[in-house]
Chains A and B, each alone.
Chain A
């Protein structure tokens, strides 16, 4: 049964079960690599994407809940030609080691900056608290989000 999903501004018609998880659909059917698989149980944030601007864990979200909604992955946020200020700031601040957490961090931060363009350090920590980074790059991520918020204003 075809299922319609709006991803990064494009309507996709997919031959998948409505019970399929969004992360699988994004990675396997739409061949997007940005949403990463870290745990599959909503504990790490690596798979974070935006649904109508809200950060969600795509690894536990069935697509049946998403018809008519706007899904944004990091590929939709920006690319090398026209990067989002967060992506520029992550490169500027070298806010990655292995970088496996980066796209989830950036998506959570993007949603924060939409709602709160001038976040304090504490606001950023709160917004990213459910995103894990095993490499310990937190202090740089914090700086990068701060920098992006300044560049956005």
Chain B
């Protein structure tokens, strides 16, 4: 108990003391075209690194730990370049008051972007330290050249022999008050020892010892607890309520109402829960926009199209036509439903207004963007808002994290110097989070007599895949901002004209296809609130493309892997397919009572990031319709691997989560409310249903690193559908592949 208090106090004091820390403000006039964005936006070396007297090095970064292990991998890069032991790196809190601005932690780009920046900053720091060492070690009788120096765990060596100096004797932090030039070459990959070796994640011990590790665990003096009262659908306004109903409930401090924003505040969380429940019962809401019935999906998506379709890719002019009259044409329609992020814990935030400044502790993916959005929504100056990242449960994209931060902030503004902790209810989390967009896809393609694809026409219908909050117009993407009095215009959320929204991700197949055309049908009016979910459009697009490749292979009477390889030019793409095939074929065939099926799926995420291929072995019970996914084999090429076990962990998790999406998941709703409100109405994969997973990593030390966290989603869904087709001759093209759907199709 004592420990908890100490730690919470530590969090609290840290944040207060950090107010006093001197921060070098990036000089915005500085720009050098060849510097990565993270560096040109944050050119001061001391924004990134600090040498501490306790023989450690502080590393700051703009990327957030989301349970993906990013902060460990980035610390590895710093330790590698600095030639110090990994555990000397102290990764600093992500805080808008003193962290470098690096954009959001999204899109599997952290290793690509922040990794390059930290490598550059660290190699530059090492160089500065060595310059300083050379000067100190030189005497009139002997000049020491920097080339004679090397470093062993911070100790300076002269021609391999130890000297009297270490990093910790050399520099005070002011010496890093210099701009990063980008002119120092980092280590050659062949000399790496920390990068490329598995390091234990920095964040895991606190989690397995049950220590305070999440926003939910923050405790502060005078803290109050709030709970929201919300309708069944996000597009509803408050008609009436009876705040007096909570007067009798012990511990209740007040009801906070601002337009349709309704919350209760109490001394204890349990009291706030009871009060919110009582208030909910007497509150009346009115829905302000209609939503189509769930039965009308996926077809309704094509009816909702209001803008002109746009061809976003067409190589017809570049490729000579291989079309002939003897081609066989195949066409198929695919879809995926709304999928919830469904974090294991509801979103939470702590906010405190000290009369002058608002501090928000949040598990957002973008502290700087959240700071901007909150300042717009509350109409207070940006300099008066500070956001500090503290972990939440895994989010897999844009969930309720940012929304709850504004909720807590709106309440905190009414309680000077009293921190407000707000943890959403499970129900609110399911009902309010912005889901992954429903999508409908049509593919038509020709197979010529030599069984090569001769043309490929791809059409997809989807809403936006990203409504992330930011300062300015983007603040309307925070839920409460359109609920409060003087609401921000809700058009930013429900009626979007911005077509570049992630729905196109992987819509262009990586295969070498003649007459390849992709048409976007952008739906500007979102039926349900949606935003970025792991992979964005890539999940549905790859599911469709990889299912259809299997259908074509079958039509061509070809082995599905060979058929893919024949249509690929990219050597890395072919290599993952060959590797996964080798891995699966090295294992004994499964002996199972059900109908056995094997399926493959492949993609290069975003067509520019990680290569991934997966083989799924499953069984289908023809009498019950149950699909048992027994095992998965995967091959991954993420360029230079920083933390191999970290990559494997992300891939295993991606495959299992995608298996859950594929077999079970679809947000249930009626025309007046969201009906998925808990784990019974939104079931996910359980222990009894998980496959074994084996992952083979292809390391390419000389190629740029890419993120592995989102690449598995689409290929895994397709591999499962392909394996089901292999087991049963049933081709199911609408996700999820539920037991009911299998039975229905088997009987028809």
List the interface of chain A (C-beta within 8 A of B): 20-21, 24, 27-28, 30-41, 43-44, 46, 73-75, 78-80, 83, 87, 90-91, 94, 96-103, 106, 124-126, 128-140, 142
Return the chain A residue nearest B395 by Cβ.
Answer: A98
Q: Which residue of B lies closest to A40 (CB)?
A: B426
Determine the interface band of chain B, counting residues with CB < 8 A from chain A: 35 or more
Asked if B690 contacts A99 (CB within 8 A), the reply is no
Q: List chain B residues, Cβ under 8 A from A40.
A: 425-426
Task: Please measure, in the bound complex, the distance between the C-alpha atom of A53 and the C-alpha atom of B654, giving whole angstroms.
Answer: 34
- Find out whether the CB atom of B4 lies under 8 angstroms from the CB atom of A32: yes
Residue of A37, A83, A100 with most partner-chain B CB within 10 A: A100
Does B393 count as interface, using CB distance less than 8 angstroms?
yes
The answer to whether B343 touches A134, judged by C-beta atoms less than 8 angstroms apart, is: yes
Cβ–Cβ contact B426 & A38, under 8 A:
yes
Chain B interface, DSSP helix/strand/loop, else mixed: loop
Bound-state Cα–Cα, A41 to B213, Å: 23
Contact B394 A43 (CB under 8 A): no
Q: B268: CB under 8 A from chain A?
A: yes
Among B88-96, B204-212, B312-320, B440-448, the stretch in contact with A: B204-212
Q: Closest approach, in angstroms, between the C-beta of B6 and any C-beta of chain A?
A: 10
Question: In the complex the two chains form, what is the Cα distance from A28 to B424 in whole Å?
Answer: 16
Q: Determine if B256 is an interface residue (Cβ-Cβ < 8 Å).
A: no
Please tell me which one of the listed residues A39, A97, A100, A137 contacts residue B678 in the complex, with CB atoms under 8 A apart: A39
Q: How far is the CA of A27 from the CA of B68 in the complex (A)?
A: 26
B20 nearest CB across to chain A (Å) = 28
Complex CA–CA separation, A90 to B207 (angstroms): 10
The yes or no answer to B33 lying at the interface (CB within 8 A) is no
Known: A33-B4, A136-B660, A137-B649. A101 touches B693 (CB 8 A): no
B550 at the interface (CB under 8 A from A): no
Q: At the interface, is chain A mostly helix, strand, loop or mixed? A: loop
> What are 8 contact pairs spanning A and B, CB under 8 A?
A33-B213, A37-B345, A73-B210, A98-B66, A100-B67, A100-B344, A135-B653, A142-B687
Does residue B384 face the partner (Cβ distance < 8 Å to A)?
A: no
Cα–Cα distance between A59 and B201 once the two chains are bound (Å): 29
In this complex, which of A35, A80, A136 has the most chain B Cβ atoms within 10 angstroms of its Cβ?
Answer: A136
Asked if B1 is at the interface (CB within 8 A of a chain A CB), the reply is: yes
B393 touches which one: A34, A100, A137, A140 (CB < 8 A)?
A100
User: B656 interface residue, CB < 8 Å from A?
Assistant: yes
Question: Would you call B645 an interface residue if the criterion is a C-beta within 8 Å of the partner chain's C-beta atoms?
Answer: yes
Cβ contact of A41, chosen from B204, B211, B426, B685, cutoff 8 A: B426
| B200 at the binding interface (Cβ < 8 Å) | yes
- CB neighbours of B685 from chain A (8 A): 136
Separation of A43 and B429 alpha carbons in the complex (Å): 15
Contacts of A79 in B (CB 8 A): 209
Evaluate contact between A103 and B208: CB separation under 8 angstroms: yes
With a cutoff of 8 Å between Cβ atoms, the chain B residues found around residue A106 in the complex are 208
Task: Report the Cα distance A39→B684, complex, angstroms.
Answer: 14
Query: Are A39 and B679 in contact, CB atoms less than 8 angstroms apart?
Result: yes
Q: Which residues of B contact A135 (CB under 8 A)?
A: 67, 344, 394, 653, 657
| Stretch touching chain A among B54-62, B214-222, B408-416, B666-674 | B214-222
Chain B residues, CB < 8 A from A44: 344, 679
**Quick check: B684 and A134 within 8 Å, CB to CB?**
yes
Q: Does B209 lie within 8 Å of A83, measured CB to CB?
A: yes
State which of A34, A37, A97, A140 has its C-beta within 8 Å of the C-beta of B67.
A97
**A5 to B: closest C-beta gap in Å:** 13
Q: Does B310 contact A (CB under 8 A)?
A: no
Partner of A46, one of B200, B342, B344: B344
Is B655 part of the binding interface, using a Cβ–Cβ cutoff of 8 Å?
yes
A114–B268 alpha-carbon span in the complex (Å) = 35
From known contacts A31-B5, A33-B4, A97-B67, infer whether A134 and B342 are also in contact, taking CB-CB under 8 Å.
yes
Interface residues of B in 362-404 (CB under 8 A from A): 391-394, 396
Q: Say yes or no: is B680 at the interface (Cβ < 8 Å to chain A).
A: yes
Please measure, in the bound complex, the distance between the C-alpha atom of A37 and the C-alpha atom of B344, giving whole angstroms: 9
Do A97 and B649 have beta carbons less than 8 Å apart? yes
The docked-state distance in angstroms from the alpha carbon of A141 to that of B685 is 15
Which of the listed residues A94, A97, A124 has the most CB atoms from chain B within 10 Å of its own CB?
A97
Find chain A residues with CB under 8 A from B201 CB.
94, 96
B692 within 8 A of A: yes
**Which residue of B is nearest A19, CB measured?**
B270
Q: How does the 8 Å CB contact mask read for B261-293 relative to A, with 1 for contact and 0 for none? A: 000000011100000000000000000000000
Interface membership of chain B positions 680-716, coded 1 if the CB is closer than 8 angstroms to chain A and 0 otherwise: 1000111110101100000000000000000000000
Given contacts A75-B209, A87-B209, A129-B686, contact A94 B200 (CB under 8 A): yes
Please, which residues of chain B bring their CB within 8 A of the CB of A128? 687
In the complex, what residue of chain A is closest to B207 when comparing beta carbons? Answer: A99
The docked-state distance in angstroms from the alpha carbon of A80 to that of B206 is: 9
B window 173-213: CB within 8 A of A:
200-201, 203-205, 207-213
Could you tell me if A75 and B692 are in contact, using CB atoms closer than 8 angstroms?
no
B1 touches A136 (CB 8 A): no
Q: Say whether A43 contacts B678, CB under 8 Å.
A: yes
Most buried by B among A39, A41, A126, A135: A135
Residue B573 at the A interface, CB < 8 A?
no
| Residue contact B208 to A90, C-beta cutoff 8 Å | yes
Cross-chain contact B4 with A94 (CB below 8 angstroms):
no
Q: Which chain B residue lies CB-closest to A46?
A: B344
Given contacts A83-B209, A137-B653, A139-B656, 4 further A-B contacts (CB under 8 A): A24-B270, A46-B345, A97-B650, A100-B207
